[in-house]
Amino acid sequence: MKNNRIIEIQENINELTVDLLVPIRTSKTINKEKFEKLYLLLDELKELVAGQELINRKLAGLLFFIYTTISAESQHSHYSNPIFIETGRLEDYLSKILWDSPFGHSI
């Protein structure tokens, strides 16, 4: 059951990818609605994978692709730019999904 939901989340994130990345690449804007949907999925995913030794390779690759694409665009923006801000927010989510840090949790 848990693995089925993780696969559903992966598929939902995959469906959001174009709506997340195209505005950033073409017009340097953030689709806030789509990012909020992404973060809701990532909140659920974070709970589902907590403490697991392994996560799906396709899911990890998809999250890496989204993050690196946004991160590359943020390198050309001011720290107050929404792209830069979303990059940091996404990085925080991914660190909690991909690593159970022994150093505690950020706020």
Whole-prediction pTM = 0.87
The C-alpha torsion from 60 through 66 and 70 to 71, rounded to 10°, is 20
User: pLDDT tens digits for 50-94?
Assistant: 888 889 999 999 999 999 999 998 887 777 889 999 999 999 999
> CA of 2: how far to CAs of 13, 46, 71, 77, in Å?
17, 12, 30, 39
If pLDDT is split at 50, 70 and 90, which confidence band does 105 have? low
Domain 2-98 grouped into CATH 1.20.1050: yes
